[in-house]
Amino acid sequence: MADKRDKNGRFLPGNDGGGRPKIPDDIKEAFKAATPAAVQKIISLMDCGNVKVELQAAQEILNRSLGKPETSGRLELSGTNDEAIIFKWINEQPNTQTITK
């Protein structure tokens, strides 16, 4: 069955385009029950002695508590209708923050 789209390729209202299957309720409950242990595991990994693992654990905690940092930049497109479109990401502000332990 073909997806119903408008002339610009967007889905029309009421279109059942599939998507990601829903997680069953029993699986969601099992994940919720394991959440405190998972949080404690990530916290304990911050002092495991492996700098790479410690950094990843710290990043995970910060990303989940504060949200991932925004990326600023611009996207340049080039090409014409008959050519391939070339995408180029240009960072507006390079990351200059230094973290010391």
Bridge partners, 86 (sequence order) = 78
Q: What is the pTM of this model?
A: 0.50
User: Per residue in 42-53, is it b (16+ CB within 10 Å) or e — as a string?
Assistant: eeebeeeeeeee
Name the more confident of 10 and 37: 37
What is the rounded distance in angstroms from the CA atom of residue 49 to the CA atom of residue 19?
41
Query: Rounded to an integer, what distance in angstroms lies between the CA atom of residue 33 and that of residue 76?
Result: 45
More confident residue, 98 or 27: 27
Using the predicted structure, report yes or no on whether residue 95 has a pLDDT greater than 70: no
Give me the mean pLDDT over the 32-49 stretch. 96
Contacts 24+ apart (CB under 8 A), 10-13: none
Query: Taking Cα atoms as reference points, which of 101, 75, 79, 78 lies closest to residue 90?
Result: 75
Residue 76: pLDDT band by 50, 70, 90 thresholds? confident
